[in-house]
Amino acid sequence: MTAASAPIEIAQLRKVFRQTTSGQSITAIDHLSLRIEPGELIAIVGKTGCGKSTLFDLLIGLEHPTAGSITIGGKTPYDDFNAFRGKIATIFQQDRLFPWRSALDNVKLPLELIGIADDVQQERALTWLKRLGLEKFANAYPRELSGGMRQRVAIARAFAVQPEILLADESFSALDEVTANELRKTFVDLAREFKSTAILITHQLEEAMAVGDRIVVFGKSATLLADVRMSDWDRADYPLLREAIQNTLQANVPDARLRR
Ligand SMILES: Nc1ncnc2c1ncn2[C@@H]1O[C@H](COP(=O)(O)OP(=O)(O)OP(=O)(O)O)[C@@H](O)[C@H]1O
Ligand SMILES: [Mg+2]
């Protein structure tokens, strides 16, 4: 797998949606600037509606910025959509598998789309299903699998394209806690093994602290309330860190204790 080689540079990013029914404007993201280094593992936390998923839509080129920019290796996801084919993979809250395709064929689908040779598709999809402990279920259909197993297929599908950047949007929050913890660990271990840049959106602070090299806290309209590097903190100070981030989230203002 190719390790991520370029930073993600977000500069003065702004995204305004105009509601079709009311005609009102909603500023989902307002003047966000953030630089994410190759191979970094970032957890984004923020209240509901603060613009987290919108940032992902902009990163994968589904939406274009109202103002400001996102560039990855000098290219912009919306304008250079084709340059990013197979480079960014997303795991969503729901598995988004195709019910009429077997687990194997679901993992193969993005490989087909990026034009990987048939035999390589088959081999790579099987390798990844095996890696996720699903070799016996390659020919099973999503309805025959548990929620955790389906999300494993989704993880296999994401890694199989050998992406430079992995995005996980509340990917494990619909699962029971034990399964969620286990899959989160799998995801993080794989992202580290392949040196991918990974961004994980979560509502749970515990989850963020457990996985991130860096925790980014968004306030309303994705304003940057905190940008915490876990390596700056001793384990003994984690309770303080937790409290300060919690406070930041609640009050929607930066907390001086988070400056290091
Ligand atoms: N396509 C769209 N059209 C209009 N408004 C939108 C659209 N997408 C998002 N919004 C609005 O932008 C704001 C940010 O939404 P977003 O989905 O990014 O929030 P979020 O942080 O992911 O929330 P959650 O934690 O609930 O998933 C919300 O007010 C939402 O209603
Ligand atoms: Mg969301």
Annotate 6-30 with DSSP letters as a single string. Answer: S-EEEEEEEEEEE-TTT--EEEEEE
CA nearest ligand 1 atom 26, residue: 48
Give the pLDDT confidence of 191-207 residue by residue, as tens digits: 999 999 999 999 889 88
Give CATH for domain 1-84+179-260.
3.40.50.300
Over range 183-192, report the average pLDDT: 92
Q: How far is the CA of 217 from the centre of ligand 2 (A)?
A: 14
Cα–chain center distance at 13: 18
Is 131's pLDDT higher than 50? yes
49 Cα–ligand 1 center, Å: 5
- The pLDDT assigned to 1 comes to 45
Using DSSP's 3-state secondary structure scheme, residue 33 falls into: strand
Residue among 16, 18, 19, 26 whose CB has most ligand 1 atoms within 8 A, to mutate: 26
Alpha carbon distances (Å) from 57 to 51, 84, 92, 153:
10, 13, 12, 22
What does the pLDDT read at residue 254? 92
Instruction: Provide the residue ranges of all domains of the chain, joining segments of one domain with +.
Output: 1-84+179-260, 88-162
Residue 81 is predicted with a pLDDT of 85
Q: Is the CB of 202 under 6 A from ligand 1?
A: no
Ligand with the closest atom to the CA of 63:
1
Note the pLDDT of residue 19: 85
* Position in ligand 1 atom list of the atom nearest CA 57: 18
Q: Report yes or no: 111 and 156 within 8 Å, Cβ to Cβ.
A: no
Ligand 1 pocket member 19 (CB < 6 A): yes
* Cβ of 54 less than 6 Å from ligand 1: yes
For residue 16 the two structure tokens come to 């305004």
Nearest ligand to the CA atom of 168: 2
Q: Give the number of the ligand closest to the Cα of residue 18.
A: 1
**Looking at residue 3, what is its pLDDT?**
59
* Model confidence band, residue 210 (pLDDT cutoffs 50, 70, 90): confident
What is the per-residue pLDDT across 35-91, written as a single tens digit (0 to 9) for each? Answer: 999 999 999 999 999 999 999 999 999 999 999 999 998 899 999 888 888 899 999
104 lines ligand 1 (CB under 6 A): no
Average pLDDT estimate for 149-154: 95
Q: Which residues contact 238 (CB under 8 A, 6 or more apart)?
A: 209
Mean pLDDT of the chain: 93
Ligand nearest to the CA of 29: 1
Determine the distance separating the centroid of ligand 2 and the alpha carbon of 126, expressed in angstroms. Answer: 31
Task: Indicate which atom in ligand 1 lies nearest the CA of residue 203.
Answer: 25
| Alpha carbon of 142 to ligand 1 centroid (Å) | 28
Give the atom of ligand 1 at the shortest distance from the alpha carbon of 46.
21
The whole-angstrom separation of Cα 99 and Cα 150 is 11
pTM of the model: 0.93
